[in-house]
Amino acid sequence: MNRSHRHGAGSGCLGTMEVKSKFGAEFRRFSLERSKPGKFDEFYGLLQHVHKIPNVDVLIGYADIHGDLLPINNDDNYHKAVSTANPLLRIFIQKKEEADYSAFGTDTLIKKKNVLTNVLRPDNHRKKPHIVISMPQDFRPVSSIIDVDILPETHRRVRLYKYGTEKPLGFYIRDGSSVRVTPHGLEKVPGIFISRLVPGGLAQSTGLLAVNDEVLEVNGIEVSGKSLDQVTDMMIANSRNLIITVRPANQRNNIVRNSRTSGSSGQSLDNSLLGYPQQMEPNFEPEDEDSEEDDIVIEDNGVPQQIPKAVPTTENLESTQIELSFDSGPNGFIPSNEVNLASIASGTNTEFETCASDQKLLEEDGTIITL
Amino acid sequence: MRRFLRSGHDPARERLKRDLFQFNKTVEHGFPHQPSALGFSPCLCILAIGTRSGAVKLYGAPGVEFMGLHRENNAVVQIHFLPGQCQLITLLDDNSLHLWSLKVKGGVSELQEEESFTLRGPPGAAPSATQVTVVLPHSSRELLYLGTESGSVFAVQLPAFRVLDNRTISSDAVLQRLPEEARHRRVFEMVEALQEHPRDPNRILIGYSRGLLVLWDLQAGCVLDHFLSSQQLENVCWQRDGRLIVSCHSDGSYCQWPVSGDTQHPEPLPSCVPYGPFPCKAITKIFWLTTRKGLPFTIFQGGMPRASFGDRHCISVAHDGQQTAFDFTSRVIDFTVLAEADPAAAFDDPYALVVLAEEELVVIDLRAAGWPLVPPPYLASLHCSAITCSHHVSNIPLKLWERIIAAGSRQNAHFSSMEWPIDGGTSLAPAPPQRDLLLTGHEDGSVRFWDASGVCLRLLYRLSTVRVFLTDTDPSGSLHAQGEDEWPPLRKVGSFDPYSDDPRLGIQKIFLCKYSGYLAVAGTAGQVLVLELNDEEAQQVVEQVEADLLQDQEGYRWKGHERLCARPGPVHFEPGFQPFVLVQCQPPAVVTSLALHSEWRLVAFGTSHGFGLFDHQQRRQVFVKCTLHPGDQLALEGPLSRVKSLKKSLRQSFRRMRRSRVSSRKRQPPGLPGEGQEAGAKVERAGLQNMELAPVQRKIEARSAEDSFTGFVRTLYFADTYLRDSSRHCPSLWAGTNGGTVYAFSLRVPPAERRMDEPVRAEQAKEIQLMHRAPVVGIVVLDGRSVPLPEPLEVAHDLSKSPDMQGSHQLLVVSEEQFKVFTLPKVSAKLKLKLTALEGSRVRRVSVAHFGSCRAEGYGEHHLAVLTNLGDIQVVSLPLLKPQVRYSCIRREDVSGIASCVFTKYGQGFYLISPSEFERFSLSTKWLVEPRCLVALAENKKHRPHRNGAGPEKALGRARNSGGQSDGEERRPGPVMEHALLNDERVLKEIQSTLEGGRGSYGDWHSRRVAVGYSLTNGGAE
């Protein structure tokens, strides 16, 4: 392989790029125009053509400059592969049904070179089960850490995505007590903690939640002052898109912030310097709320279908407009969005049962009313 | 339309909200829980009842009610009205005395605590020296004599509670003034009785427990006379003229002592043991009352033969050769006799006996032959059989009202016709604006109809469904079967009967159509009865139909109770609601939802397995639908297996508890007994702490289609709406399940002229699955003006505007977690309000209510009244689903209270605060039923009540409510876990006693609480 590398380096022309493609034991060589590599689909067809395997589904990989085997399955990584190939682009083709996914990833090619160690210690090699990693197009988010920029470093906001019922959320919560810094000094206050993770459950598999983590918020609502049963009900009610803010029991794995960029939260209100205890900004994402609730209706034809959002048709439009014209008072703005409606719900309550946490909830966002 | 659309932040809307909503707990209906003391004022004609939780309740004429709550959470032991005054003294079990006054403020009387006092002895005196046993309010109105355990009698000046030391009658002083022969015995123990001479206020009679009676002259401070009995003294009574003393004793005897003017020692008349000659229990209280005709009334409590009738709770009345022992179903707390109130009158001439038993108040007419009972207009024993469900119907048409009353009056034929004798005070409350019925279903298969229009909850009519079924009960009333010569002459009185013959008879759902007089009731064993009001008695066959809810399902086996066996052949029914159809669900699981449409003559019912529709006109089943998913074995096994598993877990907890105790005992080091005990207690405490550390965990898991009990039908609803297309509306039936599914069936009901010829057809038109899968607790269709559809026949009776069928209809689905509005006929999501996701509370009850404005006559809005599992009550606007107001109403720990809550159609509601009491509350500014009454002394009395001060009448209510809450908080121990444990332990013990076969705990509140909670929540999602 080193030899071919050298060989390619010698014969490289400025405008074209040499491609060496391997399928099974066969090699094919051809060249591509570096400035106009074309689309991935064309490249895929080309490879099938040159290897004479027109109807075989294959996986395509290439060796990058670090010697890692990386997949090519869309235009982006194809272009990346072409632009970084220096000067030879080495392609490895596998039949999809025989594909060895473990081959992909960091250091994979380098490890392969180390054949000797594998030969000397074959047991060691076999014991390691191959972890099957599906291709990126099959990926979907399972969990994420969000709002890193607006939370104190001691806190972690974890989002669990629940799809269908195939994997349980798989955790338990309990009552407990934690120590808080208050104006009167340290105070022991009741809190809610994660008490158990079910093996194989979503919570455990993400690795973002652990036993004895203190639960501070559920979907932007503080849990302090709420009973275990209330918090349980809130979590179950939000189970399809659960966002839990915890204070991890193990504070050693905290994310050290050095950049202010945030992945999921558009706003970067940094109030982490304001001291502790802190008011966190709930992270409402309307599109999540919508996608989360897909009630199903079966009409007489017997085919289940998702219930659409009511589009203001001509007859509905009339009432909707009345609604809006009436609602947009001096300070009362009722957005048609149901998420905001829900926020108004809690806002209305504050007028009768002045509830500080709800009030704070209202001030967080420009789109929601400030009392 | 516009009025619904205002924002919550609009000041105009805020003003309007203040005109519409207001929260008040207005009045408590029913019988006080755990009464502990009785008082009666002859001059005010007002009755007072004290309870073990420190409440004092005053009752006069119907509608005249007061309530006070002691700050201390102690039992009221004695209540005494001050003679000739609007004041009363209460003695609590912490030995404190409290002075209460009825003061007039703003035209209505209020009950207020004026002063409290605890008798203190000299430093170093034993606590018994000042432990008050008897209270005697002196007729001078300024003095209170307090008899104590030490034998001393203290004089206390009112109203300031100043102890007059120089007037104390110590036992030594009495001893010195006694003649020699009476002195040698240890006659002084505690003071058992203190009575003022009926004619001479300077003389009082002091009775000591060892049997000595002393007639004491208050002025001279000397013994005028003494009487020595050989038996322990229980109580004494003066004859009206003061010539005779009657004492009653612990051996079941009573003695008469003639009082002569001179100091010559009188000879006692021979003592009498009314239920001898075998040993008898004590006579604890006696009345000796003279009559114009000559022969006196002797009325006494207890004295029954110890061996055979020692467990009875009896009060005997003897007069003119007649004697009856009234046998009460619960313990007698106290009793009093209503007689001539004027102290100057020559004779007592008693007319009524008032008995406060543990579970009911019984009044007996002493003038009518046979001493019949007087039906009480208030203080009804709601729980004579445990309440299992309730249903409220507002605004009953006069015709139906009269027919129900007529049916009820025939049931009350054996009652006395006497006017209610306790008639003090005047009710100033306006006449109730409409006739409201509260229907309660009971464990024994009966339904009681209560007049809930005003302050007094009065029983109108009682319906029993038992007659339809074959049960083990002996139909012939064995109570009255006793022969003439029986001795003692027992007579069972009272309605409190907590023993259910068959738990399957229990009523779970009630639905009354107020226009047609059709009633549907459904019970524990899947029985659904349709009844019709008939003014004549009838002999008829009840048509039986079986509804097999598992039609298409195979391989299931029901492990619960069997269905009830219906009585074959024609059954005799008395005038009133008479059943004509019996639908029995198969499997015979508890009926969890019920709806009746009297216009279409259809009844829908649901259980944990499915639901069905029955045409009661043609007496034909229209369809059944199974809602059970194939994997749900648990729902099929029935309630018994659940009990079994509960039993098992209970047994395990007992074992655990026992083990921890044994091990702690083992570890206990041998030592001095006292020390050991202390150490044991310490270990016990440590054990408790250890147990506290064991975490209570909650599983966090999304609801799934595979969960158990998802098929449980929670709600059924009939609507005439656009189900299939927007051009034609049709009758429809909607059902909501525990798993968040809504089924809609379009119905085809033949027109009236062909109603009997063509069958009713039904076809499933829609099935909606809410993805959050929370139980559906309410379904409502809103018309084109976004107003909830009217009740059936409401429009036909011109009591409602006909619904708007022009505009598009909307469907409101309320789950435990969310409110959602969908468009119809094409289902699309329009609006939603999330409750649980934001607050952590879940909807327990939801009902459409009309809120009238207190300012603008005729203006009103329809909204949802909602009760959450945290005991909060909220109003959520229609159709925009905006929360309007929120009030905390019921303590969140009070599971049975929350489960029992029922809303009215006009923004009021009821919930049980004890097994025997409904609290009434109002969310409306317009519909407020609360006592407003005035109590003043009669005009001929010289002493007039001083009228001063002013203040809003509400103060009383508020004070009471806050008191009630603080009382609840005090009872709650600090650490939550500890509370849970203690609670568990108590519940465990009670359930254990039930499991061990003791039926005795049936009347117990806590065990009842468990039972009611279960049956009323219908097994919710917990």
A208, amino acid identity:
L
Confidence of residue B1020 (pLDDT cuts 50, 70, 90): very low
Closest CA to B661 of B632, B634, B683: B683
Compute CA B480 distance to the chain's CA centroid, rounded to the nearest angstrom. 28
Mean pLDDT (whole number) for B453-471: 91
The dihedrals phi and psi of B343, each to the nearest 5 degrees, come to: -65, -20
Using CB atoms and an 8 Å cut-off, which of residues 198-237 of chain A contact chain B?
Answer: 219, 221, 226-237
DSSP state of A103: G
Q: Is B955 on the interface with A (CB under 8 A)?
A: no
Q: What is the mean pLDDT of residues B465-477?
A: 72
B168 pLDDT more than 80: yes
Q: Do A239 and B700 touch (CB under 8 A)?
A: yes
Both tokens assigned to A79 = 């272009």
What distance in Å separates residue A304's CA from the closest CA in chain B?
9
Residue A362 has pLDDT above 50, yes or no: no
Q: Which of residues 877-906 of B touch A (CB under 8 A)?
A: 880-888, 892
Whether residue B170 is predicted with pLDDT greater than 90 in this model: the reply is no
What is the rounded average pLDDT for all residues in chain B?
82
Q: Which amino acid, one-letter code, is at A157?
A: R
Interface test with A, best of B5, B14, B16, B700 (most A CBs within 10 A): B700
pLDDT value, residue B430: 87
Residue A189 Cα distances to A186, B893, B971, angstroms: 9, 21, 22
Q: Tell me how close the Cα of B823 comes to any Cα of chain A, in angstroms.
A: 7
Residues within 8 A of B (CB atoms), A 271-310 only: 292-300, 304, 307-310
- Is it true that the peptide bond before B305 is cis, omega within 30 degrees of 0? no
DSSP states of B336-392 as a string? EEE----TT-S-----EEEEEESS-EEEEESSSTT--EE--SSS--TTSS-EEEEEE
Does the CB of A238 have a partner CB in chain B at under 8 Å? yes
Q: What is the pLDDT of residue A143?
A: 81
Cα→Cα distances B473→B434, B492, B563, Å? 39, 18, 17
Phi, psi for B168 (deg, rounded to 5): -60, 135
Question: Among A83-87, A95-99, B893-897, B985-989, which is the least confidently predicted range?
Answer: B985-989
Which residue did the predictor score with more confidence, B514 or B1004?
B514
A241: contact with B, CB 8 A cutoff = no
| Residue pLDDT, tens place only, B368-395 | 989 999 999 999 989 889 999 999 999 9
Buried b (16+ CB within 10 A) or exposed e, B306-315: beebeebbbb
Tell which wins on pLDDT, A352 or B269.
Answer: B269
Q: Which segments of chain A does DSSP mark as H helices, in order?
A: 2-11, 40-50, 75-84, 108-113, 115-120, 122-127, 202-206, 228-237, 286-292, 314-327, 338-352, 356-363
Q: What is the pLDDT of residue A339?
A: 34
Does the pLDDT value for residue B119 go beyond 70?
Answer: yes
Residue B742 is predicted with a pLDDT of: 95
Whole-number pLDDT of residue A14: 59
Q: Measured between CA atoms, how close is B549 to chain A, in angstroms?
A: 22
The Cα of B967 is separated from the nearest Cα of chain A by a number of Å equal to: 21
Shortest CA distance from A323: residue in chain B: B5
pLDDT band at A285 (very low <50, low <70, confident <90, very high): very low
C-beta pairs of B993-999 under 8 Å, 24+ apart in sequence: B995/B647, B995/B650, B999/B499
Determine the pLDDT at residue A11: 42
Q: Which residue has the tokens 């509804």?
A: B547
Q: Is B184 on the interface with A (CB under 8 A)?
A: no
**Is B785 touching A (CB cutoff 8 A)?**
no
Chain-chain contact of B697 with A351 (C-beta, under 8 angstroms): no
Exposure letters B199-211 (e unless 16+ CB within 10 A, then b): eeeebbbbbbbbb
CA distance from start to end of chain B: 39
If DSSP states are collapsed to H, E and C, what string results for B750-766? CCHHHCCCCCCEEEEEE
Q: Inter-chain contact B698–A294, Cβ cutoff 8 Å?
A: no
Mutate to test the interface with B, among A236, A299, A331 (most CBs of B within 10 A): A236
CB B158 within 8 A of CB B142: yes
> CA-based angle B819:B821:B822, to the nearest 5?
140
Is A173 exposed, middle or buried, given 0-12, 13-18 or 19+ CB atoms closer than 10 A?
buried
CA dihedral A67, A72, A76, A78 (to 10 degrees): 80
Flag whether residue A170 sits within 8 Å of chain B, measured between CB atoms: yes
Is some CB atom of chain A closer than 8 A to the CB atom of B14?
yes
The whole-angstrom separation of Cα B825 and Cα A67 is 62
Structural tokens at position B279 = 């040993």
Residue B510 has pLDDT above 90, yes or no: yes
Q: How confident is the model at residue B649 (pLDDT cuts 50, 70, 90)?
A: low
Q: Give residue B194's pLDDT.
A: 93
The answer to whether A298 contacts B1, with C-beta atoms less than 8 Å apart, is no
Label residue B695 by pLDDT band (50, 70, 90).
low
User: Among residues B362, B380, B523, which one has the least CA distance to residue B438?
Assistant: B380
Q: Is pLDDT larger for residue B424 or for residue B10? A: B424
Rg for chain A, CA atoms, rounded? 28
Lowest mean per-residue pLDDT among B45-59, B148-162, B264-278: B264-278
Residue % of chain B over a pLDDT of 90: 52
B942 pLDDT tier (thresholds 50, 70, 90): very low
Q: What number is the average pLDDT over the span B681-688?
A: 49
The closest CB to that of A237, out of B706, B772, B823, belongs to B772
Q: Which of B207, B455, B493 is nearest to B335 (CA)?
A: B493
Q: Positive or negative, the Cα torsion across B1002, B1006, B1012, B1014?
A: negative
Q: What's residue A146's pLDDT?
A: 84
- pLDDT, residue B223, reads 87
Nearest-angstrom CA–CA distance, B503 and B995: 15
CA distances from residue B47 to A296, B37, B313, B335, B908 in whole angstroms, order as listed: 61, 11, 22, 11, 28
Average pLDDT of span B288-297: 90
**CB distance A322–B2 less than 8 Å?**
yes
Q: Which residue would you say has higher pLDDT here, A86 or B117?
A: B117
List of chain B residues whose C-beta atoms are within 8 Å of the C-beta of residue A322: 1-2, 5
B822, closest residue in chain A (CA to CA): A310
- Quick check: B715 pLDDT over 50? yes
Name the pLDDT band for B950 (thresholds 50, 70, 90).
very low
Task: Note the pLDDT of residue B73.
Answer: 87
Closest CA to A76 of A141, A33, A136, A16: A136
The two beta strands, B518-523 and B527-534, are: antiparallel
- Nearest of B360, B363, B454, B339 to residue B64 by alpha carbon: B454
Q: How would residue A277 be classed by pLDDT, with cut points 50, 70 and 90?
A: very low
Q: What is the pLDDT of residue B938?
A: 60
Structure tokens at B231: 């038996």
Q: How far away is chain B from the Cα of A266, in angstroms, using its nearest Cα?
A: 22
Interface contact B701-A239, CB threshold 8 A = yes
Residue B403: is its pLDDT beyond 90?
A: yes
Structure tokens at A119: 């030969």
Give the whole-angstrom CA distance, residue B669 versus residue B387.
51
Tell if the CB–CB gap between B7 and A346 is shorter than 8 Å: no
Q: Return the minimum-mean-pLDDT range out of B198-207, B291-300, B486-495.
A: B486-495
Report the range of poorest mean pLDDT among B52-61, B598-607, B808-817, B953-962.
Answer: B953-962
Read off the pLDDT band of B951 (50, 70, 90): very low
Q: Is B518 helix (H, G, I), strand (E, B) or coil?
A: strand
Q: What is the rounded CA–CA span in Å between residue B752 and residue B736?
A: 29
Instruction: Pick B768's closest partner by Cβ from A196, A297, A300.
Output: A297
Report the range of poorest mean pLDDT among B142-156, B610-624, B961-975.
Answer: B961-975
Is the pLDDT at B452 greater than 50? The verdict is yes
Q: Which amino acid is at B871?
A: G
pLDDT tens figures, A213-272: 999 999 989 998 899 999 999 999 988 889 999 999 888 777 665 544 444 433 333 333
Count of CA atoms in the C-beta half-sphere (13 A) of B561: 19
B698 CB within 8 Å of a chain A CB: yes
pLDDT at position B351 is: 93
Peptide bond into B35 cis (omega under 30): no
* Residue B178 in contact with partner chain A when CB distance is under 8 A: no
pLDDT score at B696: 84
Is the CB of residue A122 less than 8 Å away from at least one CB of chain B?
no
Provide, as residue numbers in chain A, all residues whose Cβ is less than 8 Å from the Cβ of B808. 315-316
Tell me, yes or no, if A321 comes closer than 8 A to chain B by beta carbon.
no
| pLDDT reported for residue B485 | 61
Helices (H), B892-1000: 895-899, 954-971, 976-995
pLDDT in tens, B575-594: 999 999 999 998 899 999 99
Average pLDDT of span B819-826: 92
* Residues B781 and B811 sit within 8 Å (Cβ to Cβ): yes
Overall average pLDDT of the B996-1016 stretch: 37
- pTM (2 d.p.): 0.76
Residues B66-75 have a mean pLDDT of: 91
| Residue B909 confidence class, pLDDT cut points 50, 70, 90 | very high
Q: Say if CB B601 and CB B616 are below 8 A apart.
A: yes
Q: For A166, which residue in chain B has the nearest alpha carbon?
A: B704
What are the structure tokens assigned to B204, written together?
């009082």
Are residues A308 and B828, on separate chains, in Cβ contact within 8 Å?
Answer: yes
Q: How far is A106 from chain B (nearest CA, A)?
A: 36
Q: Is A326 on the interface with B (CB under 8 A)?
A: yes
Mean pLDDT of chain A: 67
Angle at alpha carbon of residue B823, lines to B821 and B825, rounded to 5°: 140
Strand B872-877 with B741-748, pairing: unpaired
Confidence of residue B701 (pLDDT cuts 50, 70, 90): confident
CA-CA-CA-CA torsion sign (B104, B109, B110, B114): positive
Distances, alpha carbon B185 to alpha carbons B179, B188, B230, B758, in Å = 12, 8, 11, 95
CA distance B23 to B394: 19
B684-710 mean pLDDT? 69
- For residue A365, pLDDT over 60 is answered with no
Q: How far apart (Å, rounded) are the C-alpha atoms in residues B340 and B342?
A: 6
Q: Residues 341-360, chain A: which have Cβ within 8 Å of B?
A: 341-342, 344-349, 351-353
Over residues B723-740, mean pLDDT: 92
**At residue A360, does pLDDT exceed 80?**
no
Q: Which residues on B lie below 8 Å from A174 (Cβ)? A: 695-698
ipTM confidence score: 0.77
Mean pLDDT within B924-933: 87
pLDDT at residue B535 above 50? yes
Residues of B in contact with A224 (CB under 8 A): none
Over residues B521-526, the mean pLDDT reads 94
**Confidence category of residue B49, pLDDT binned at 50, 70, 90:** very high
Comparing alpha-carbon positions, the chain A residue that sits nearest to B697 is: A174
| Section B40-60 average pLDDT | 94
Nearest to B594 by CA among B611, B581, B608, B618: B611
Q: Which has more confidence, B564 or B682?
A: B564
